[in-house]
């Protein structure tokens, strides 16, 4: 169930995705929130550095491993503008983070990119639960997914 607090965190993810777009990065943003909803860490995509592993969800997993106890990680929620890729889903599960809430799904992103004739990614698109079956996952949220779609159109059609 996605409540108002979840939506507020997802809105922040979209804001971060917009910031990424403004700095020439792909529009992805993510937030790590504690069990009581406090924002612990946030980041956006940094692939314009030339390192295509610079995804915000991967940065969150690394930050959580360095700064949180296993109990805090399990109780935390990761919010993200776009569903984790397989690399980030694996990192999330390896460090024992909790629930994931995403605005738009990987399946939606694949459809959007295909419709814009973007060359296929070198990594297969799949749901988080294919990679990390024990992680609780919620999404997409359709009205927010529409906003994410608009950001991807801006990125690829400029
Ligand atoms: Zn990723």
The string of pLDDT tens digits covering residues 129-138 is: 999 999 999 9
> Quick one: pLDDT at residue 57?
98
- Distance (angstroms) between ligand 1 centre and the Cα of 88 equals 4
> Quick one: pLDDT at residue 49?
94
User: CA-to-CA distance for 42 and 63, rounded, in angstroms?
Assistant: 10
DSSP 50: S
128, 135 contact by CB (below 8 A)? yes
User: CA-to-CA distance for 66 and 46, rounded, in angstroms?
Assistant: 20
Considering only residues 157 and 29, tell me which one the structure prediction assigns the higher pLDDT.
29
- Distance (angstroms) between ligand 1 centre and the Cα of 81 equals 11
Which residues have CB less than 5 Å away from ligand 1 (the ion)?
A: 55, 85, 87-88
- Distance (angstroms) between ligand 1 centre and the Cα of 100 equals 13
Q: Which long-range contacts (CB under 8 A, 24 or more apart) does 59-64 make?
A: 59/30, 60/30, 60/32, 60/92, 60/97, 61/88, 61/91, 61/92, 61/94, 61/95, 61/97, 62/91, 62/95, 63/32, 64/32, 64/40, 64/95, 64/97
The two most distant CA atoms of the chain are separated, in Å, by: 44
Containing 79, the helix (H) or strand (E) segment is strand 77-82
Q: Which band of pLDDT confidence, cut at 50, 70 and 90, is reported for residue 158?
A: confident
How does pLDDT run across 31-84, given as a tens digit for each residue? Answer: 999 999 999 999 999 999 999 999 999 999 999 999 999 999 999 999 999 999
- Distance (angstroms) between ligand 1 centre and the Cα of 116 equals 20
């Amino acid at each position: 169930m996605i409540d108002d607090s979840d939506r507020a965190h997802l809105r922040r993810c979209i804001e971060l995705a917009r910031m990424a777009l403004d700095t020439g990065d792909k529009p992805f943003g993510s937030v790590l929130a504690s069990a009581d909803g406090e924002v612990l860490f946030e980041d956006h995509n940094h692939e314009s550095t030339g390192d295509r592993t610079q995804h915000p969800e991967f940065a969150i997993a690394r930050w959580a491993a360095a700064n949180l106890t296993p109990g805090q990680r399990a109780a935390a929620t990761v919010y993200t503008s776009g569903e984790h890729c397989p690399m980030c889903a694996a990192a999330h599960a390896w460090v024992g983070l909790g629930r994931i809430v995403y605005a738009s799904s990987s399946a939606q992103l694949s459809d959007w990119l295909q419709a814009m004739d973007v060359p296929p990614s070198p990594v297969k698109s799949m749901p988080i639960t294919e990679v990390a079956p024990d992680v609780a996952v919620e999404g997409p949220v359709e009205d927010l997914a529409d906003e994410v779609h608009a950001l991807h159109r801006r990125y690829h059609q400029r």
